[in-house]
Amino acid sequence: MFHWLEKNPFFFAVGVFVVIAFAGLVEILPNFSEASRPVIGLKPYTVLELAGKEVYKKDNCIACHSQLIRPFKSETDRYGQVSLSGEYAYDRPFLWGSKRTGPDLHRVGNYRTTDWHENHMWNPQSVVPKSIMPAYKHMFTNIADIETAYAEAVTVKNAFNTPYGDEFQGTRAAWDAYRPKVIEEAKAIAADMKNQDVKDTVAKGEIPEIVALIAYLNRLK
């Protein structure tokens, strides 16, 4: 057989390719599978963070901001540790982005605060004078869709075995029982904000989009 392959260079080349490809898969796939598992300590998004992620997508923040720090010194010096596959284990969809009109946000929770985000979203130029980002004042009055975020958590729990607790049952009773936890998380965010209207809205049991978005941005570390 080997003599026949030596006399037929095309099939010999195909055979070599198949052997190398198979060996490559045997070497790469296990490492890829391991790298894509959740990093140690990673937890699924809270319902409030999921709602904030939806605000992030709805207002198209991904058009100007990436969430992917590449393994280059210029990037790690500015944004922090290089992004790891396992950090995106609970992201559906990924929000890597492909353009940076503004800075990468994958580690923004490490160096920006709730107060900073509040000022920045209300008037970007007040904290970054040369910023070309528009103001997002509507987020301070628009109400975040928390119930849909809860339904998303239930969905990914059932479809992808995301490790959410037993309180994520997908029933009206389960949501009514869980909702106070989301409000308490929102109150903790609002406590660090200056806007009194936002504080009052949360106190009444509604959550402005800005609170949900800040919860999501604070999560990015």
Are both 28 and 85 inside the same structural domain? no
- Residues 209 and 50: their CA atoms lie apart, in Å, by 11
Number of domains observed in the structure of the chain: 2
Q: Is 164 exposed, middle or buried (0-12, 13-18, 19+ CB in 10 A)?
A: buried
Q: Tell me if 150 is assigned to some domain.
A: yes
Q: What is the pLDDT of residues 88-105, one digit of tens each?
A: 999 999 999 988 999 999
H or E segment and range at residue 187: helix 172-190
Are both 30 and 58 inside the same structural domain? no
| Confidence class for position 15, pLDDT limits 50, 70, 90 | confident
Are both 210 and 179 inside the same structural domain? yes
One-letter amino acid of 24: G
What's the CATH number where 182 sits?
1.10.760.10
Q: What is the pLDDT of residues 123-173, one digit of tens each?
A: 999 999 999 999 999 999 999 999 999 999 999 999 999 999 999 998 999
Are both 29 and 55 inside the same structural domain? no
Are both 123 and 205 inside the same structural domain? yes
Q: Which domain holds residue 192?
A: 47-219
Q: What is the mean pLDDT of residues 192-215?
A: 98
**pLDDT > 90? residue 63:** yes
Q: Tell me if 40 is assigned to some domain.
A: no
Q: Using alpha carbons, list the distances in angstroms from residue 133 to 68, 89, 104, 146.
A: 20, 30, 14, 26
Are both 8 and 105 inside the same structural domain? no
Q: Is the Cβ–Cβ distance between 113 and 194 less than 8 Å?
A: no
Of how many residues is the chain composed? 221
Mean pLDDT of the chain: 91
Residue with tokens 């997508």: 57
Q: Tell me if 115 is assigned to some domain.
A: yes
**pLDDT > 70? residue 25:** no
pTM of the model: 0.85
pLDDT of residue 152: 97
Token pair recorded at residue 46:
């809270």
